């Protein structure tokens, strides 16, 4: 599933094409994605696009009457094409623009979502989200408070969207390695110094991934069709049994929260 950097790369990719455009109409060829596409989305037409933003892993297209919420799921991706271009297989949704182009959603597995948030309301999926990791709302104090009374593995706390949004499996692995913290360590046993370092490393790791175009995943490409370029710099994720890039020790893999977790037993002592 695309993580925060991949979603932010998509936002950066589509924003120039949607800026100062009017949404002429929405064409829904398949409304049954993860959830049924609401009537309000399909009916959205002849409205100026006010902004394109991101909240966690959700893209938000703001209109005067409300907000279209997009989630790419496991296989969804967006592309900007001429509105007259014939759709390909799994091209489920078109947002037709006044420029003559359209923003097209392709989702092979249909695990993505297109939802509606009425003006001056907050969708239930967004209501309980924690702070954005790349803003001042998230920092050492946030992480210290979240971990103080929790004995769950620090990796699971870091991936809790109520603590901080958008730190998915790949970047949790990477950040914990850089901070020298064992992913299975109880959160309330990680030192304040280590948690302070972890907060900084999370910001740096996500920011670097965005700059380099997002991690290349099997089902993800940038809006211009080019793959991301960050995968070659992953230090632990996907490298189980390979030598640690720092000390040469064989990396180990365990399961936490049913997700692959790779770490160096020497650089990240429990």
| Domain at 70, CATH number | 3.20.190.10
- Let me know whether 106 and 178 are in one domain: no
- Whichever domain contains 199, its CATH number is 1.10.8.50
Q: Residues with Cβ < 8 Å from 253, sequence gap 6 or more?
A: 240, 241, 260, 261, 262
Q: Which domain-ending residue is among 127, 153, 169? A: 127
Number of structural domains the chain divides into: 2
- Identify whether residues 8 and 116 lie together within a single domain: yes
Residue 85 domain-assigned (yes or no): yes
Domain of residue 100: give its range.
4-127
Same domain? For 22 and 57 the reply is: yes
Over range 251-255, report the average pLDDT: 97
Residue 110: active-site member:
no
Helix (H, G, I), strand (E, B) or coil at 146: helix
Q: Are residues 254 and 160 in the same domain?
A: yes
User: Does the pTM exceed 0.75?
Assistant: yes
Calpha distance 90→183 (Å, rounded)? 37
Tell whether residue 150 is among the known ligand binding residues: yes
Alpha helices (runs of H) in 99-138, residue ranges in sequence order: 124-127
Backbone dihedral angles phi then psi of residue 195, each to the nearest 5 degrees? -65, -35
Say whether 104 counts as a known binding-site residue: no
Q: Once rounded to an integer, what is the mean pLDDT over residues 228-233?
A: 64
Same domain, yes or no, for 119 and 144? no
Q: Is 84 among the residues known to form the active site?
A: no
Pick the catalytic residue: 2, 5, 133, 183?
Answer: 2
From 63, 88, 95, 91, select the one nearest 77 (Cα to Cα): 91
Which of 127, 150, 185 is where one domain is finished? 127
> Which is more confidently placed, 232 or 112?
112
Is 71 part of any known ligand binding site? no
Residues 109 and 145 in one domain: no
The last residue of a domain, from among 105, 127, 149: 127
Evaluate whether residue 270 is within a structural domain: no
Q: What was the pLDDT predicted at 6?
A: 87
Residue 259 annotated as catalytic:
yes
Judgement on whether residues 147 and 247 belong to the same structural domain of the protein? yes
Find the mean pLDDT for residues 79-84: 94
**Distances from the Cα of 54 to the Cα of 153, 226, 253, angstroms:** 28, 21, 32
């Amino acid at each position: 599933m695309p993580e925060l950097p991949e979603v932010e790369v998509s936002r950066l990719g589509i924003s120039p094409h949607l800026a100062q455009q009017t949404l002429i109409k929405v064409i829904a060829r398949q409304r049954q994605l993860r959830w049924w596409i609401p009537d309000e989305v399909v009916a959205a037409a002849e409205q100026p696009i006010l902004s394109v933003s991101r909240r966690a892993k959700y893209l938000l297209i703001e209109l005067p009457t409300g907000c279209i919420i997009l989630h790419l799921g496991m296989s969804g991706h967006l592309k900007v094409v001429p509105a007259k271009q014939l759709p390909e297989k799994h091209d489920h949704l078109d947002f037709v623009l006044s420029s003559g182009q359209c923003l097209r959603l392709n989702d092979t597995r249909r695990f993505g979502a297109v939802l509606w948030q009425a003006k001056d309301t907050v969708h239930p999926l967004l209501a309980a989200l924690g702070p954005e990791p790349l803003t001042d709302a998230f920092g050492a104090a946030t992480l210290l408070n979240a971990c103080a009374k929790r004995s769950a593995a620090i990796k699971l706390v870091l991936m809790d969207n109520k603590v901080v949004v958008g730190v998915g499996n790949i970047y949790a692995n990477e950040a914990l390695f850089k901070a020298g913290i064992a992913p299975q360590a109880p959160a309330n046993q990680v030192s304040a110094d280590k948690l302070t370092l972890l907060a900084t490393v999370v910001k740096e790791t996500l920011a670097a991934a965005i700059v380099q175009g997002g991690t290349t995943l099997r089902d993800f490409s940038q809006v211009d069709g080019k793959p991301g370029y960050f995968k070659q710099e992953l230090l632990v994720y996907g490298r189980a049994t390979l030598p640690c890039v720092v000390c040469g020790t064989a990396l180990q893999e365990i399961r936490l929260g049913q997700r692959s977790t790779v770490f160096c037993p020497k650089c990240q002592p429990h």
